[in-house]
A and B are shown apart, each in its own frame.
Chain A
Amino acid sequence: MPQSNLSPELTTTGLTSLLDGQGRKPTRLLQILIEIQAAQHWISPENIDQLAAELNLPRARIEGVIGFYSFLHAEPAGQFRLLFSDNITDRMLGNQNLLEYLCNKLWLERGHVSEDGLVSVDTTSCTGLCDQGPAMLANGMAIPRLTRERLDEIAELVLQKVPVTQWPAELFVIENNIQRREILLANSMQPGDALRAAIAQVCVPGSAVEAAANQRSWREGIPSVALCAPVSTLEEIKRSNLRGRGGAGFTTGLKWEACRNAPGGEDNRTRYVVCNADEGEPGTFKDRVLLTTQADLLFEGMTLCAFAINAKQGFLYLRGEYRYLLEPLNAVLQRRRDANLLGANILGQAGFDFDIEIHLGAGAYVCGEESALIESLEGKRGIPRNRPPYPVTHGYLDKPTTVNNVETFCAAALVGLHGGDWYRGIGTAKSAGTKILSVSGDCARPGIYEYPFGVTVRQVLIDCGAENTLAVQVSGPSGVCIGADEFDRRIAFEDLATAGAFMVFDESRDMFEVARNFAHFFAHESCGFCTPCRVGTAMLKATMDKIAIGHGTQYDLAEIDQLNRILLQSAHCGLGHTACNPTLDTLKRFRPTYERRLKSLDFEPAFDLDGALATARRMTGRDDAGAHLSMEAES
Chain B
Amino acid sequence: MSETFQLDGEDIPFAPGQTVLQAALSAGHYIPHLCYHPEFKPHGSCKVCTVKIGGGNNTRTAASCTLPAQAGLEIESDTEEMNALRRTLVQMLFAEGNHFCPSCEKSGNCELQALGSDLGVMTAGFRHFYPDRPVDASHPDILLDFNRCILCELCVRASCEVDEKCVFSLSGRGITKHLVVNATSGKLADTDIALTDKAMQVCPVGVILKKRVGFAVPIGQRRYDQRPISAQALDDAPRPPSASGPNGSGVCQACEE
A-to-B contact residues, CB < 8 Å: 45, 48-49, 58-61, 63-64, 66-68, 70, 364, 381, 386, 388, 523-532, 534-539, 542, 559, 562, 565-566, 569-572, 605-607
Contact = CB atoms under 8 A, between A and B. Distances in A.
B95 A532 contact: no
Given A67-B171, A386-B44, A528-B172, A58 B95 contact: no
Contacts of B63: 570, 572
27 contacts: A58-B182, A59-B182, A60-B166, A60-B169, A60-B180, A64-B169, A64-B170, A64-B180, A67-B171, A67-B180, A70-B173, A388-B68, A526-B173, A528-B174, A530-B45, A531-B45, A531-B48, A531-B150, A535-B93, A535-B95, A538-B175, A539-B92, A539-B127, A570-B61, A570-B85, A570-B89, A605-B127
A531 B34 CA distance: 11
Most chain A beta carbons < 10 A, residue from B47, B85, B89: B47
Interface string B84-128: 010011001101100000000000000000000000000000110
B166 A572 contact: no
Q: For chain A, what secondary structure do more than half of its interface residues adopt (helix, strand, loop), or is it mixed? A: helix
A580 to B, nearest CB: 14
A532 B89 contact: yes
Contacts of B168: 60
Contact of B174 (A386, A537, A542): A537
B184 A49 contact: yes
Given A61-B166, A531-B45, 11 more contacts: A67-B180, A364-B173, A381-B170, A386-B44, A388-B68, A527-B173, A528-B175, A530-B46, A559-B126, A571-B47, A572-B63
B92 A536 contact: yes
A58 to B, nearest CB: 4
A63 B167 CA distance: 12
Contacts of B177: 528, 534
A525 B176 CA distance: 11
B127 A531 contact: no
Contact of A572 (B45, B85, B126, B184): B45
Given A524-B174, A530-B46, A539-B126, A562 B169 contact: no
Contacts of B167: 60
Nearest to A46: B184
Contacts of B169: 58, 60-61, 63-64
B174 to A, nearest CB: 4
A605 B126 CA distance: 10
Nearest to A522: B174
Contacts of A525: 173-174
B53 to A, nearest CB: 12
Given A67-B171, A570-B47, A535 B184 contact: no
Nearest to A527: B173
A514 to B, nearest CB: 21
B45 A529 contact: yes
A530 B47 contact: yes
A532 B92 contact: yes
Contacts of B173: 67-68, 70, 364, 525-528
A495 B50 CA distance: 30
B72 to A, nearest CB: 16
Contact of B182 (A60, A529, A537, A565): A60
A619 B132 CA distance: 23
Nearest to B94: A535
B46 A531 contact: yes
Given A523-B174, A528-B151, A569-B50, A538 B129 contact: yes
